[in-house]
């Protein structure tokens, strides 16, 4: 069982409002690849500008669709891990608990988390590439389907490079960050903005900032507590110590 500093346990025991920001690292132990890790990260094997930009989709919708279909398959085959489940348990302890995720895999919801703030969309949903809005996903023929309203390609409902985050999700995340007493940044490289700004906003507004990560990140130096190790071990152990 990892050791936790008493001041961290005290902060978590006395808090009423806790916010958690998760990244790909929380799903790594479910077998979902992260983005930036050497060798195994998606961006080590694939070029983001060919797969995760609106320009890439316009240039080659089939290639982008196929790549997301492959990732949807990975996610469908994955199961929530003890890290996801510990966050469900943590939510039960607080009247004000907000879970903010950069992940598009839906594993928090499958673990039982409710009202998850999805900053980068969800890979299981599709929407019109020309802005008509959400649509049903029919992936039968393996080809990008047309929008039932305007006939343009449907695309994954995820945020691509160069695109804005969904405004309602970003506003909810910002509010959660500035209102919480403890903010946990879990399994994220803290490199992609505006998500990476949330822990800084939380700390600026007076929250105790906690990082859970296997590696050092740009956030490490700003964190009040750094819990080094896999989220699937640290989070359940933390929940147990609080209980």
**CA atoms of 147 and 155, how far apart (whole Å):** 9
Q: Which is nearer to ligand OAD, 215 or 240 (CB)?
A: 215
Of the candidates 234, 118, 237, which has an alpha carbon nearest to the alpha carbon of residue 170? Answer: 118
Q: What is the number of other CB atoms lying within 10 angstroms of the CB of residue 5?
A: 11
Of the candidates 114, 89, 116, 92, which has an alpha carbon nearest to the alpha carbon of residue 103? Answer: 116
**Half-sphere exposure for 133 (CA within 13 Å, toward CB):** 1
Residue 113, both tokens: 């988390």
Q: Which is nearer to ligand OAD, 38 or 141 (CB)?
A: 38
Which of 108, 120, 138, 174 is labelled catalytic? 120
Phi, psi of 91, rounded to the nearest 5 degrees: -60, -35
Residue 120: active-site member: yes
Cα 155 to Cα 40, 103, 106, 146, distances in angstroms: 25, 17, 17, 9
Query: 3-state class of 38 per DSSP?
Result: coil
CB 44 within 8 A of CB 38: yes
| Angle in degrees, CA 145, 158, 104, rounded to 5 | 115
Residues found near ligand OAD in the complex (CB under 6 A): 23-25, 28-29, 34-37, 41, 52, 102, 120, 158-159, 187-189, 191-192, 212-215, 217, 230-232
Cα 127 to Cα 133, 141, 151, distances in angstroms: 5, 17, 12
Q: Which is nearer to ligand OAD, 46 or 94 (CB)?
A: 46
Q: Which is nearer to ligand OAD, 17 or 63 (CB)?
A: 63
Q: Known catalytic residues? A: 120
């Amino acid at each position: 069982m990892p050791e936790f500093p008493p001041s961290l346990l005290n902060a978590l025991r006395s808090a009423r409002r806790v916010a958690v920001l998760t990244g790909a690292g929380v799903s790594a132990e479910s077998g979902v690849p992260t983005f930036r890790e050497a060798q195994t990260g998606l961006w080590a094997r694939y070029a983001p500008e060919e797969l995760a930009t609106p320009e890439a989709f316009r240039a080659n919708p089939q290639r982008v669709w196929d790549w997301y279909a492959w990732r949807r398959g990975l996610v469908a085959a994955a199961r929530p891990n003890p890290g996801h489940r510990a966050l469900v348990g943590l939510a039960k302890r607080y009247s004000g608990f907000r879970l903010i995720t950069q992940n598009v895999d839906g594993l928090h919801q499958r673990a039982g988390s409710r009202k998850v703030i999805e900053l980068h969309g969800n890979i299981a949903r599709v929407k019109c590439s020309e802005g008509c809005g959400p649509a049903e996903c029919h992936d039968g023929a393996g080809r990008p389907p047309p929008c039932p309203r305007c006939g343009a390609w449907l695309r994954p409902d995820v945020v691509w490079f160069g695109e804005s985050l969904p405004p309602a999700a970003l506003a909810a995340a910002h509010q959660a960050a500035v209102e919480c007493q403890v903010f946990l940044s879990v399994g994220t490289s803290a490199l992609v903005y505006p998500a990476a700004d949330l822990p800084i906003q939380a700390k600026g507004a007076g929250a105790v900032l906690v990082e859970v990560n296997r590696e050092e990140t740009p956030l490490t130096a700003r964190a009040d507590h750094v819990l080094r190790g896999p989220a699937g071990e640290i989070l359940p152990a933390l929940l147990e110590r609080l209980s």
